[in-house]
Structure formats: structure tokens, C-alpha cells
Amino acid sequence: MHPTLVPPDSLKGFSADEINVWKTEFDVVNTLRKLGHEVRPLGVQDGLDPIRVAAEEWKPDVVFNLLEEFYGLSNFDQHVVSYLELLKLPYTGCNPRGLVLARSKALTKKIAHYHRVRVPVFMVVARGNRPKRPASLKFPLFVKSVSEESSLGISQASVVETDEKLAERVRFIHEHLETDALVEQYVEGRELYVGVIGNERLKVLPVWELDFGKLPETGEPIATAHVKHNPEYQKKHGIDIRRAEDLDPAVERALQRTTRRVYRMLELDGYARVDYRLTAANEIYLLEANPNPEIAEKEEFASAAAASGLKYKPLLQRLVQLGLSRSGRPD
């Protein structure tokens, strides 16, 4: 985990805002200890030596991987997992090949399109270039980083209606996030999340939905950073993430089938969450796949697992077992 996210042994004396920063790390460490495991939180940020030293001196059975960046770069997380493989250390979560394929939202969409999974029409604008919108891209458009996660850089300004606003938002992504920009057709509809667990044998979790509640009239229902991560904003606007209701059974089956396909075609394993938009005509659009998603006890992945009968303790134990299976033990 990141050094600043190494959690305390107790929540006593911490505010809700402080806890929210490292709640995932606390939940995982605390629950693994309750399961009887010996756990040593390890902060890793700008060097691999702490991993090597821990591997040689402590000799862990498995690494529970919660790291989402290295050297401050999110697209370096796969290199740390590759290092674990070189050390022949079993680890939880996704393998480096899957992390690479899913990291680029554009690459994910290209692979999905090849496999005839519906995705929004899109283009990528490389850093330093101005957008040249093809005729196939109709307004409104949605502009975001091609590689950043956690809704970084997403706001109401991400939805654009003119070429002038498109150029302005692309420039924002280039300058502030320092990544290429992904420009895609904005798909109106319900925002749905489907979790999946497994290496060879897969368990697809119930469909979860981001309910946008009562956003301001001027706001589009999109997963901005405030919508996803700000408890006060969520409470104010009645935003909730819960089990999807009133889904056509055929649509629910299609979501489960598509999630399995996406998981396989991106070579994911361990666990992941696949994000979709569902239109009023029941058309399913793949938005992105998120390997190693948020797994705090009260977040959507763990909640969906609990709804399927896999409570939090068994969930984490299952992820540990899947990690250990990389050492040749059975899945």
C-alpha cells in the first residue's frame, strides 16, 4: 500500500474524513487479522527494496496488493506486480498483463470492439495535439483521461456540446493530468457496475447501480469525483450505490455474460469490476474495466459480494486463496 495509507491499529480518535482516506487499508488489514492471519502492512512508493527485504526476511505466504501507483504514477502499478512475479511471490488481485490491458480505456474499447462488445464511439487525442472531431462523433461528448482512475479529472465540464468546449477540456486533461485524452460519445442511461471474482472459475456478482439521486438541474448524471468519493456531497444529493432494481431479466443475463467475456478478453484475474451504461432501449455499453477495484467493506464491490452470499471475511479469504493459487495451489 502507499506509505500515507498505512492504517492505524484502531479507529479511535480519528474523524470520519480521516478514516475515509485509508478505510480500505484499515478494513483489509483489520479483517485479515480477525481471520487469524499474521499481517504486516508495507508502505511502498518510490523503491522496490522494501519488498525485497520483506520477502527475504519475513517470507510472507502471499502479498495482499492494495497499491495503485508507484513513483506517483498510476500506470506503474503493473511494474510492482511484475516484480512480485519475478520474486515468485503469490499476490492478490490482477496480474500485470491484465493491468496493462485494462489501464488504457482506449485499448480496452478497441479489444472490446474486436470481440463485438458494444462501446461508445470514441477517439484519443494525444498530448500536445488538438482534437479533430470526425463526423462519427456527435455531441454531446464525454472527455476524460485515457488512463487515470477514481474519476480523476471528471467533472460536469467533462460533458461538452461544442468544438470550442471540446478543445478546452482536452487541453485541461493534457495539462493537468498529463495524459492523453479520451473523447467518447456521451451515453445517456443508468450507470451499472458488475463485479467478478476468480482466476479460472468465475463468480459474477449481482448488478450494482450508481443512483445519482437529486443532482442540480444543470448537472449531468456522471460519476464525478464528488459523486464517487465525497460523503457529504452524496448525502446532500441523495446519491447511493446499491443493487440495481427493475432490470429486465434478459438485460441482467446479458450483463453477466458480457462481464465474463470482458474479464477473459482482457486477461484479468483475481477480481475486477466492469462498468456499463444502460440506455432506455436496454442497449448495454461497456465503459471500462477496473482491475483491483475499491474493496472497503461498505463499498459497492464488497456489498455486491455480500448480496451474493459472500460476506466480507469470506470475501477477503477467497481473494487470499486466489492469490495463493498462483503458487500452484488449486483455485
Kindly report the average pLDDT of the chain as a whole number.
93
Q: How confident is the model at residue 242 (pLDDT cuts 50, 70, 90)?
A: very high
CB-based contact 5:25 (threshold 8 Å): yes
Mean pLDDT throughout 259-263? 98
Residue 43: which residues within 8 A CB-CB, separation 6 or more? 1, 2, 3, 4, 5, 6, 50
| Residue 76 grid cell | 506503474
Q: Beta strands 208-211 and 190-197: pairing type?
A: antiparallel
Q: What pTM, to 2 d.p., does this model score?
A: 0.93
Q: What percent of the chain has pLDDT over 70?
A: 97
Q: What percent of the chain has pLDDT over 90?
A: 83
Please identify which residue in the block is written with the cell numbers 518510490: 46
> How far is it, in rounded angstroms, from Cα 202 to Cα 271?
9
Q: Specify the fold of 100-104+188-326.
A: D-amino Acid Aminotransferase; Chain A, domain 1 (3.30.470)
The residue that leads in pLDDT, 257 or 218, is: 257
Where helices occur in the chain by DSSP H, the ranges are 16-21, 23-34, 49-57, 77-86, 96-103, 105-114, 163-172, 225-229, 231-237, 249-265, 300-307, 312-324
CA angle centred on 258, ends 226 and 120, rounded to 5°: 55
162-186 pLDDT tens trace: 999 999 999 999 999 999 999 999 9
Mean pLDDT throughout 154-161? 93
Indicate the burial class of 164 (C-beta count within 10 angstroms; 0-12, 13-18, 19 or more): exposed
- Range 121-185 has CATH code 3.30.1490: yes
